[in-house]
């Protein structure tokens, strides 16, 4: 990294050389001493330093120069680099010029010519110390502000998260309470078949609560960084085949043709088996859940050199661009609704994305409104 620069400006070459030599002797190990013979050249040097990102802690300028005067130059420099400390050299006590530099350029100090070497060295040394102290403070406060902003956003997200969670838990809990009170008050008058029907509703509501609570715990584990997955070589085909068989009856109840096509008998990936099962369980379940009756859901698997690719395609209503933008967000409420009265927590795809990220996998969606949706998952091929 290039050294910080001390810039000296004077239209008298001999004085400029003398000033440079003194500063170089005192500060040359840690700072580059640059010189300019007029204001225009000085501003050009500063522009170059800004482009290269080089610190300019101190500018020392003569007051009486041809063309641009020192106070005018320092005013322009202050507009470009307000944190730079400005020192004005003057052969005469020009109160107006000094006053202008103080007011318009935040003048650090003025020194009369001929300068006293020790005084100049101490002034520059203190100016450098102050420059870098203020720079560190600025960086510290910027970092602190970012931490406060991040923490505030985190707390807001958690509050929103809890608010939505409580709202979603309230409905099935209220249903369970209502059904239980119904049995409690009317047990003697209720036929056995009606009791069993109410019990089935209690079981369904409790399952919905369990599903949501499990999802909430999983989201918390993911976001707290506690999830530590062990990856291993595994065959993905048997997981997809098992899930296809598992969801066959559920699909059949909606007259959905659930198909599985694999070009090879085995596809080996580097992944976690339980996590991979959870990912595809969610995606295949969603495809059946959101597909209309009498449609087809097709699961296909293939491979290239680096990834095994799995596609879950449905013939449902498709997703709008707006829905696709918020697809993998927490508690995302999309336009399509389950077609058989099934329950949705709004967390499934968010968890899917996080789980695949943890296995160096990828997931995305391709959909056209009114023409169905395809979710594509890619996992790294297991290297031999």
Residue 169, pLDDT score: 72
Question: Does 250 share its domain with 364?
Answer: yes
Predicted confidence (pLDDT) at residue 60 exceeds the cutoff of 70: yes
Question: How does residue 330 score in pLDDT terms, banded at 50, 70 and 90?
Answer: low
Same domain, 308 and 270: yes
The answer to whether residue 124 sits within a structural domain is no
Q: How high is the pLDDT of residue 183?
A: 87
Question: φ and ψ at 84, to 5 degrees?
Answer: -65, 135
Identify whether residues 258 and 327 lie together within a single domain: yes
* Whether 219 and 236 share a structural domain: no
- The number of angstroms, rounded, from the C-alpha of 351 to the middle of its chain's C-alpha atoms is 17
SS3 letters across the chain: CCCCEEEEECCCHHHHHHHHHHHHHHHCCCCEEEEECCHHHHHHHHHHHHHHCCCCCEEEEECCCCCCCHHHHHHHHHHHCCCCEEEEEECCCCHHHHHHHHHHHCCCEEEECCCCHHHHHHHHHHHHHHHHHHHHHHHHHHHHHHHHHHHHHHHHHHHHHHHHHHHHHHHHHHHHHHHHHHHHHHHHHCCHHHHHHHHHHHHHHHHHHHHHHHHHHHHHHHHCCCCCCCCEEEECHHHHHHHHHHCHHHHHHCCCEEEEEECCCCCEEEECHHHHHHHHHHHHHHHHHHCCCCCEEEEEEEECCCEEEEEEECCCCCCCHHHHHCCCCCCCCCCCCCCCCCCCCCCHHHHHHHHHHHCCCEEEEEECCCCCEEEEEEEEECCC
Q: Tell me whether residue 120 is in a domain.
A: no
User: Looking at residues 169-175, what average pLDDT do you find?
Assistant: 75
Q: What percent of the chain has pLDDT over 90?
A: 42
For the ranges 57-66, 171-180, 203-212, 321-330, the one whose mean pLDDT is highest: 57-66
What is the number of alpha carbons within 13 Å of residue 334 lying toward its C-beta?
Answer: 27
One domain, residues 320 and 189? no
Listed residues 180, 195, 223: the one ending a domain:
223
pLDDT tens digit string along 261-275?
998 889 999 998 888
Structural domain contains residue 69:
yes
Lowest mean pLDDT: which of 53-67, 105-119, 159-173?
159-173
- Whether 191 and 241 map to the same domain: the answer is no
Domain of 351: which CATH number?
3.30.565.10
Task: Say whether pLDDT at 334 is over 70.
Answer: no
pLDDT score of 370:
83
Residue 133 lies inside a defined structural domain of this protein: no
State pLDDT tens for residues 201-221.
888 778 777 877 776 676 667
Domain match, 60 and 168 both: no
Domain identity same for 260 and 369: yes
Distance, in Å, from the CA atom of 84 to the CA atom of 59, rounded to the nearest integer, reads: 7
**180 lies in which domain range?**
146-223
Last-in-domain residue among 197, 223, 249: 223
277 and 154 in one domain?
no
Query: Residue 39: which pLDDT band, with cuts at 50, 70 and 90?
Result: very high
Is pLDDT above 60 for 176? yes
Distance of CA 32 to the CA centre of its chain: 38
pLDDT at 383: 77
pLDDT given at position 161: 61
Whole-number pLDDT of residue 58: 96
Q: Domain for residue 135, yes or no? A: no
Answer whether residue 365 is part of any domain. Answer: yes
Q: How confident is the model at residue 102 (pLDDT cuts 50, 70, 90)?
A: confident
Q: Is the pLDDT of residue 48 over 90?
A: yes
pLDDT at position 150 over 90: no
Domain membership flag for residue 131: no
Decide which of 166, 201, 223 is a domain's last residue: 223
| Residue 218 and residue 238 in one domain | no
Query: Which of 164-168, 198-202, 302-306, 340-344 shows the lowest mean pLDDT across its residues?
Result: 340-344
| pLDDT score of 375 | 94
pLDDT value at 173 more than 60: yes
Q: Kindly state whether residues 70 and 180 are assigned to the same domain.
A: no
What pLDDT, on the 0 to 100 scale, is given for residue 256?
A: 94
CATH number, domain containing residue 9: 3.40.50.2300
Number of domains in the chain: 3
171 has pLDDT over 80: no
pLDDT at res. 84: 95
Q: Return the pLDDT at 316.
A: 85
Residue 372 has pLDDT above 60, yes or no: yes
Same domain, 273 and 372: yes
For residue 132, being part of any structural domain is answered with: no
For residues 111-138, give the mean pLDDT.
92
* pLDDT of amino acid 153: 78
Q: CATH code at 168?
A: 1.10.287.130
Phi-psi group of 331: left, alpha or beta (phi > 0 → left; psi -120 to 50 → alpha; rest → beta):
left
Q: What is the pLDDT of residue 152?
A: 81
Task: Report residue 3 as tokens.
Answer: 């050294």
């Amino acid at each position: 990294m290039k050294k910080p620069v001390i810039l000296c400006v004077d239209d008298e070459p001999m004085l400029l050389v003398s000033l440079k030599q003194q500063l170089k002797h005192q500060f040359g190990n840690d700072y580059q001493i640059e010189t300019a013979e007029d204001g225009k050249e000085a501003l050009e040097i500063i522009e170059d330093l800004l482009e290269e990102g080089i610190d300019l802690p101190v500018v020392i300028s003569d007051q009486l120069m041809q063309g641009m005067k020192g106070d005018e130059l320092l005013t322009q420099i202050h507009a470009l680099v307000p944190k730079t400390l400005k020192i004005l050299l003057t052969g005469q006590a020009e109160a107006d010029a000094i006053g202008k530099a103080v007011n318009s350029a935040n003048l650090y100090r003025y020194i009369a010519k001929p300068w006293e070497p020790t005084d100049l060295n101490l002034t520059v040394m203190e100016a450098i110390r102050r420059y870098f102290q203020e720079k560190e403070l600025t960086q510290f406060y910027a970092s602190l502000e970012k931490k406060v902003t991040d923490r505030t956003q985190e707390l807001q997200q958690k509050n929103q998260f809890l608010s939505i969670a409580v709202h979603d838990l309230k409905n099935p809990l209220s249903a369970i309470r209502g059904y239980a009170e119904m049995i409690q008050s009317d047990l003697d008058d209720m036929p056995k078949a009606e009791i069993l029907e109410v019990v089935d509703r209690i079981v369904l509501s409790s399952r919905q609560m369990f599903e949501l609570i499990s999802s909430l715990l999983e989201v918390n584990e993911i976001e707290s960084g506690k999830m530590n997955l062990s990856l291993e070589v595994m065959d993905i085909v048997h997981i997809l085949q098992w899930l296809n068989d598992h969801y066959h009856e559920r699909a059949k109840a909606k007259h959905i043709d659930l198909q599985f096509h694999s070009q090879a008998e085995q596809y080996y990936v580097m992944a976690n088996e339980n996590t991979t099962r959870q990912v595809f369980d969610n995606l295949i379940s969603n495809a059946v859940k959101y597909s209309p009756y009498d449609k087809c859901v097709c699961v296909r698997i293939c491979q290239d050199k680096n990834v095994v690719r799995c596609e879950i395609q449905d013939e449902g209503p498709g997703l709008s661009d707006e829905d696709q933008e918020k697809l993998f967000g927490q508690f995302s409420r999309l336009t399509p609704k389950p077609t058989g009265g099934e329950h949705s927590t709004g967390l499934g795809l968010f968890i899917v994305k996080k789980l695949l990220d943890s296995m160096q996998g990828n997931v995305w969606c391709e959909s056209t409104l009114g023409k169905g949706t395809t979710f594509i998952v890619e996992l790294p091929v297991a290297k031999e």
